[in-house]
Structures are given as C-alpha cells and as structure tokens.
C-alpha cells in the first residue's frame, strides 16, 4: 500500500468548540514522508504531529510549542487517519480546529470531495509486538498484538441515557464512515454551564454536541446510533492514537479511556523498542475499503 495525500488544497470556515471563535482551516497536500503538520498562519509557526508535541489533554488533545498551539485536533485527525492520509498540511488562522457537527462525518465528506491520491513511497505502520497498558484506578487503555486494527471500548456512566456501553470496531475506511464517523461528542448540562463560566465550551450547542441533563438527552433529534456515546470514544481514540505518526496494527482496548491516557499510551509504546515493529503495508487493499493487516 502506498502513502497518500489529498489531490489539492481545500478550505473551510467554522467555529471552535471551546473558544467559540471563527477559524479558517486549509488542508493542503504534502510530499512523501512529510507526515501531518499543523501550521498557524496567524503566527507563522509549524507544529508537527508527534507525541512529544502534545501539551494538554484536559478537555481535548492539544499540540503546541513555546510559540503556538492547536487545540481539539482529535476529530479531524480521526477522519484523516481513517482515510489513510499520511502526508498533510493543516493551516489554521486561530488556535482551535472547527468542531463541525461534533463528529467527524463533515471531515470525511470534505476529504471525499477533494479526493485522495496515492504517492510513490510505501506506507508504513506500527505493528504492536507486546501488550502495553496505562492505568488510572479502574480506567485503562491497552494495546495488544493483532494482525488487524481493532478498537474495543467500554464506558460506564451513572446516567440512564448512557449506563454501560461497549463497542468493538474493526478498522476499514468503509466501516469507519458507517459505524464511527457520525458519533458526536457529548457533555452534561451542569458541566457545560461550569465550563462556560470559566471561558470554555463557548462554541458548544445542540447542533454540535449531545447535551444531557439529569433526566435525559436534550437534543430533539435523539441519537444517531444506539451506542453513540461509546462510538464517539472510539472516534476520539483513533484520532489520539494517530499521533504515533503512522497507522497502528494491533488491538486497542479501553475502559473509560481519555485523551490523557491515550497520550501516555502513545509515549509508552514509543519508549519501548521491543513493543512494536515498523512494517510496510503490502499492496493488497482496495481504495476506500482498505483494511490494514500484517501477518505477525
């Protein structure tokens, strides 16, 4: 399988979830082996995608350095990764990626509109060779060896509209668009009110977030999937794990995982050279339906 980028540049204007500020985003193709690079056009600063550039995971995944930062990158990265894009420049004129409708389906449609092209260099992936785990009390995230890419997630909230949910997702681009991409971010009304009181969640509303009060879901249209909450956690995890810099071949398992635990997991994986192997993906996939696999 060859590396990929987009056919041409494309731009959109949207609102950031936390700052509520308008931001223009431009996606541009990059050459082979360039990776994913964020660029703050208002500051003239590049921020390459890598675990060492993650500076905050409190409410979203944030990349940055001493000169600039880019926030809430996980939904966009999830779609970019799901469509197999290896090389891409993401230019923003403000610090936060547009929230769109709170899912990644808008980014999927954007990538399909602009088109994706194969490049000459071979695509590489990070194949997990031994189990690696990060724990925080009962919460954990773990990767295990597998010849496929699988995300197996469980959540348990003390709320009648969520309770315990579990979903197991085997990666392919087609399955991602059908099973994961439309799952929206969610929050509780009491928490949203608090976040707004400290200057966050200013861009959040019922058009880009599932909002719950004590009795149920406030969105009149209801849910898009029966397990939309846990599916969105998978969407986030795919975006967070893409910060490894190449596709993951292995099984990701989590109970109540978070951006913070995902970040610690990526760093722990890369710190143990015997935990993974960088492999080339064979040329056996069909465009738009590819499933990463590797005979370990």
Q: Are residues 126 and 247 in contact, defined by beta-carbon separation less than 8 angstroms? A: yes
Q: Are residues 261 and 140 in contact, defined by beta-carbon separation less than 8 angstroms? A: yes
Choosing from 18, 232, 259, 263, which is the catalytic residue?
259
**Count of beta carbons in the 10 Å neighbourhood of residue 208:** 19
Q: Which residues, including other chains, have CB under 8 Å from residue 145's CB and lie 6 or more apart?
A: 127, 128, 129, 130, 131, 250, 251, 296
β-bridge pairing 36-40 and 88-92 = parallel
- Give the integer Cα–Cα distance in Å for 73 and 86: 16
- Give the integer Cα–Cα distance in Å for 7 and 175: 23
Q: Is 259 a catalytic residue?
A: yes
**Residues labelled catalytic:** 259
């Amino acid at each position: 399988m060859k590396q990929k980028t987009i056919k041409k540049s494309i731009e959109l204007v949207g609102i950031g979830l936390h700052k509520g500020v308008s931001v223009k985003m431009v996606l541009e193709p990059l050459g082979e082996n360039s990776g994913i690079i964020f660029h703050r056009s208002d500051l003239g600063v590049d921020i390459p995608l890598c675990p060492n550039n993650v500076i905050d995971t409190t409410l979203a995944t944030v990349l940055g350095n001493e000169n600039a930062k880019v926030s809430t990158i996980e939904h966009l990265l999830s779609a970019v990764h799901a469509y197999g894009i290896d090389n891409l420049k993401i230019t923003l004129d403000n610090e936060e990626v547009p929230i769109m409708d709170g899912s990644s389906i808008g980014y999927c449609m954007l990538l399909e509109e602009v088109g994706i092209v194969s490049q000459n260099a071979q695509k590489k992936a990070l194949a997990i060779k031994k189990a690696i785990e990060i724990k925080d009390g009962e919460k954990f995230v773990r990767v295990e060896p597998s010849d496929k890419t699988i995300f197996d997630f469980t959540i348990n909230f003390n709320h009648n509209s969520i309770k315990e949910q579990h979903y197991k997702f085997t990666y392919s681009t087609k399955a991602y668009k059908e099973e994961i991409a439309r799952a929206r971010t969610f929050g509780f009304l009491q928490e949203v009110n608090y976040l707004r009181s400290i200057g966050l969640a200013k861009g959040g509303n019922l058009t880009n977030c599932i909002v719950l009060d004590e009795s149920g879901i406030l969105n009149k249209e209801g849910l898009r999937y029966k397990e939309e909450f846990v599916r969105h956690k998978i969407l986030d995890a795919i975006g967070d794990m893409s910060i490894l810099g190449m596709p993951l071949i292995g099984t990701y398992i989590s109970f109540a995982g978070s951006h913070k635990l995902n970040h610690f997991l990526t760093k722990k994986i890369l710190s143990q050279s015997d935990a993974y192997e960088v492999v080339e993906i064979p040329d056996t996939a069909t465009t738009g339906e590819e499933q990463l696999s590797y005979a370990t």
